[in-house]
Chains A and B, each alone.
Chain A
Amino acid sequence: QMQLQESGPGLVKASETLSLTCTVSGGSINNSDYYWGWIRQPPGKGLEWIGTIYYRGGTHYNPSLKSRVTISLDTSRHQFSLNLRSVTAVDTAVYYCARLYLALDLWGPGTLVTVSS
């Protein structure tokens, strides 16, 4: 059964780059049925869609974050990654990776990233 797991630093300094990785296990990241995505949730707030990547590398980003975000894929490591540049306190959130097949049908447990000043 496929599973997703986020990993990366839990603390990032303001103005630096937040980098997270999602490892896919129990299945192929190269499956043409799926997109792979990132979603975040600031403490006590709602869900915000960050962006997605297809196994061939095509990406779609939230326009509000597009200038700072890059999502990439490493099929050899069964991973996809999120880079968010020039972070500020408002980027403090739980970050989730997820599989998109008709909807976000499989999620990682999430990882809290705090931006410190």
Chain B
Amino acid sequence: DIQVTQSPSFVSASVGDRVTITCRASQSIAGWLAWYQQKPGKAPKLLIYAASTLQTGVPSRFSGSGSGTDYTLTISSLQPEDFATYYCQQANSFPSHFGGGTKVEIK
């Protein structure tokens, strides 16, 4: 199995802040990483796939980067609607594990 480790598990930030979340795979996943946003009581929503491709309709303040084993989700200027929990998922091979999640809360 390819495991994914996400950090940090918690971020306290203010509106307008730049936020960065990282995900590390236990072996190379060749860019096959996805990022999701989940709000309480809702299903996760796909933000980014293939490490850096923005899903249709996702605001451009979200961006993804990385290669090999190390990946990053960046929110360039945090908006009130961005306070949520974020998950990464490796999509290189089955089983397709998720990271443990990062909760972004209001400072």
Residues of chain A having any CB pair with chain B under 8 Å: 39, 46-49, 51-52, 60-63, 96, 102-105, 107-110
Contact = CB atoms under 8 A, between A and B. Distances in A.
B98 A60 contact: no
Contact of B50 (A46, A62, A102): A102
B22 interface: no
B15 to A, nearest CB: 26
Interface of B: 1, 34, 36, 38, 42-46, 49-50, 55, 87, 89, 91, 94-101
Contacts of A47: 36, 38, 44, 87, 89, 98, 101
A48 B41 CA distance: 16
27 contacts: A39-B98, A46-B99, A47-B89, A47-B98, A48-B98, A49-B89, A49-B95, A49-B96, A49-B97, A51-B95, A52-B94, A52-B96, A62-B97, A63-B1, A96-B43, A102-B49, A102-B50, A103-B49, A104-B34, A104-B44, A104-B46, A104-B89, A107-B43, A107-B45, A108-B43, A109-B42, A110-B43
Contacts, number: 57
Contacts of B99: 46
Contacts of B38: 47
A58 to B, nearest CB: 10
B2 to A, nearest CB: 11
A36 to B, nearest CB: 13
B10 to A, nearest CB: 13
Q: Interface SS of chain B: helix, strand, loop or mixed?
A: loop
**Prevailing SS type, chain A contact patch:** strand
